[in-house]
Amino acid sequence: MTVRSKNLKLVGALGAAALTVGTLGAVSPALAAGHDLTYTCTGNPIPLGAVDSTLNPGTIPAKLAAGQALTQHMSLVVHLNQTQTGIAQAAGDSVDGKIVAKGPLAFKLNIPTTAIDQTLGATQDVRAAGKGTITASKVGSFTVNAGGINATLNLTKGGTTTQVTQSCTAPTDGTQTMGTIKVTKDKTKSKVSAKVKGSKATVSDKVKSHFGLKATGKVSFTLKKGSKTIKATAKIKKGVAKFTTKSLAKGKYSIVAKYAGTKNLKGSTGKGKVTIK
């Protein structure tokens, strides 16, 4: 944790109070319900300790394809009670900052510059909102869990800014679970091409998944001209499987390339032609 201030005594007072993070409320129907959880925040010399929170991750879909990333609005709100608001009043006329999380449930939420209510005995809501992404990496039942966060609060008063950064871990008591998603195989597409050199042909199959997972495994090739059939199998390297034929008789050959798929990717078939002159 880093602290930058001209008034470290005041920062220490700020750190003595745990911040309460709560729901933004009815931003949209997808954000009508939040998830209550308590982060454990560490820092030296100002650990916030247990930070109660409510996270709105947006809509948790019932199904995604492997490799698919769903980006949507996510939010938090920091609810300062009377004591915490009083400390904030002493430290600044305004507050801003950010909250960042990485992992399968990732987000970057910004706290816009917010005026601090200077009324004696006031409470204060500090809103954080932004974009987040839920990423499904493999086929199966995917439990969406909240991960650790890094939080920064900047309190500004006159020309002095007090910055407190915290590294916070998510709970493991079940409250970190946002929902469960069924992850299915992603589609793939095979694109066949061929290059001729003399009486030989180098046949390629470029395999791409719809959501960007790297294709692995093998491709089976079949070349046909009349009753003549040539078969070969090639391993995919950097998204492409290819092989070079032996000398072929002149004529036009049809090409069929079949990708079998993997546990996360569906198979696909590509077709093409090559002519030996």
One domain, residues 123 and 231: no
Q: In the structure encoding, which two tokens stand for residue 93, read together?
A: 């006329």
pLDDT tens by residue, 151-163:
888 989 988 998 8
Choose the final residue of a domain: 167, 184, 201: 184
Provide the CATH number for the domain around residue 247.
2.60.40.1940
One domain, residues 58 and 86: yes
Cα dihedral sign for 2, 112, 59, 35? positive
Cα–Cα distance, 73 to 53 (Å, whole number):
17
Choose the final residue of a domain: 150, 184, 218: 184
Strands 63-65 and 177-184: parallel
One domain, residues 67 and 202: no
How many domains does one find in the chain? Answer: 2
Buried b (16+ CB within 10 A) or exposed e, 218-240: ebbbebebeeeebebebebeeeb
What is the per-residue pLDDT for 165?
85
One domain, residues 112 and 194: no
What is the per-residue pLDDT for 47?
64
Domain that holds residue 160: 3-184
Q: What angle do CA 125, 152, 142 make, to 5 degrees?
A: 90
pLDDT tens by residue, 15-35:
433 343 333 333 333 334 688
Strand ranges inside 29-104, DSSP E: 35-42, 49-55, 63-65, 69-80, 94-101
What is the per-residue pLDDT for 255?
98
One domain, residues 180 and 260: no
One domain, residues 223 and 174: no
One domain, residues 81 and 149: yes
Question: Mean of the pLDDT values across residues 98-103?
Answer: 93
pLDDT tens by residue, 225-268:
999 999 999 999 999 999 999 999 999 999 999 999 999 999 99
Strands 69-80 and 124-135: antiparallel
Task: Name the average pLDDT for the chain.
Answer: 85
pLDDT tens by residue, 185-232:
999 999 999 999 999 999 999 999 999 999 999 999 999 999 999 999
The contacts of residue 125 (CB under 8 Å, 6+ apart) are 22, 77, 78, 79, 80
**Is residue 170 a contact partner of residue 145, using CB atoms and an 8 Å limit?**
yes
pTM of the model: 0.76
The contacts of residue 181 (CB under 8 Å, 6+ apart) are 60, 61, 62, 63, 64, 134, 136, 141, 142, 144
What backbone phi and psi angles, to 5 degrees, belong to 139? Answer: -65, 140
One domain, residues 101 and 219: no
Choose the final residue of a domain: 184, 213, 241: 184
Provide the CATH number for the domain around residue 139.
2.60.40
One domain, residues 222 and 133: no
DSSP class of 250: S
One domain, residues 162 and 265: no
One domain, residues 194 and 65: no
Question: Mean of the pLDDT values across residues 97-102?
Answer: 94
Strands 177-184 and 268-276: unpaired
One domain, residues 262 and 220: yes
Cα dihedral sign for 196, 197, 199, 204? negative
